[in-house]
């Protein structure tokens, strides 16, 4: 697979385009797949009261202003829902998990140990994080690989 970058948004798509077919030819299937995923995301959020969006910040460089803007957009877009944002940062210390205080309502940050470009014991990681948010109806995890949604 090859990486394709959206010039307008700057997003990279790492796992959607093969080398043996042109981007132009692969694009209709790619577009249909993401439209289907986005519709399912919106449908699931519509059914929920409490929603947690999880974003993996691999750069550890996201400005606080961007985080504040993101939570505001989410709250405005889903004004009848209890919206929370969890930012996950990789760390390379002996600690496997640390909570970070950001001082922004409904925004949480954690740092987790990573090995070989994957979270160590991902299930343990999710359990540790999600125990804090057991009252949530919907969980969406966005990272550099794909979006995974889990109905709790």
- In this structure, are residues 4 and 13 in contact, taking their beta carbons and an 8 Å threshold? yes
Could you tell me which residue, 115 or 89, shows the higher pLDDT? 89
- In this structure, are residues 106 and 84 in contact, taking their beta carbons and an 8 Å threshold? yes
- Say if pTM beats, i.e. exceeds, 0.75: no
Distance in angstroms (rounded) separating the CA atoms of residues 21 and 109 = 40
Could you tell me which residue, 51 or 145, shows the higher pLDDT? 51
Could you tell me which residue, 33 or 130, shows the higher pLDDT? 33
pLDDT at 88 over 60: yes
Distance in angstroms (rounded) separating the CA atoms of residues 143 and 109 = 15
Averaged pLDDT score across all residues of the chain? 76
150 falls in which pLDDT band (50, 70, 90)?
very low
27 falls in which pLDDT band (50, 70, 90)?
very high
Could you tell me which residue, 142 or 78, shows the higher pLDDT? 78
Non-local CB neighbours of 48 within 8 Å, separated by 6+ positions: 81, 136, 137, 138
């Amino acid at each position: 697979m090859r990486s394709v970058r959206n010039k307008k948004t700057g997003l990279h798509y790492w796992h959607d385009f093969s080398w043996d077919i042109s981007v132009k030819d692969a694009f209709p299937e790619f577009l249909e797949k993401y439209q289907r995923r986005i519709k399912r995301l919106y449908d699931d959020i519509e059914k929920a009261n409490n929603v947690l969006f999880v974003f993996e910040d691999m750069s550890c460089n996201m400005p606080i202003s961007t985080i504040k803007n993101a939570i505001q957009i989410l709250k405005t877009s889903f004004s009848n829902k209890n919206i929370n944002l969890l930012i996950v940062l990789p760390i390379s210390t002996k600690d496997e998990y640390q909570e970070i205080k950001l001082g922004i309502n409904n925004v949480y940050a954690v740092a987790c140990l990573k090995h070989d470009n994957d979270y160590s014991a991902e299930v343990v990681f999710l359990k540790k994080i999600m125990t804090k948010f057991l009252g949530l109806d919907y969980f969406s995890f966005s990272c550099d690989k794909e979006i995974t949604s889990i109905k709790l």
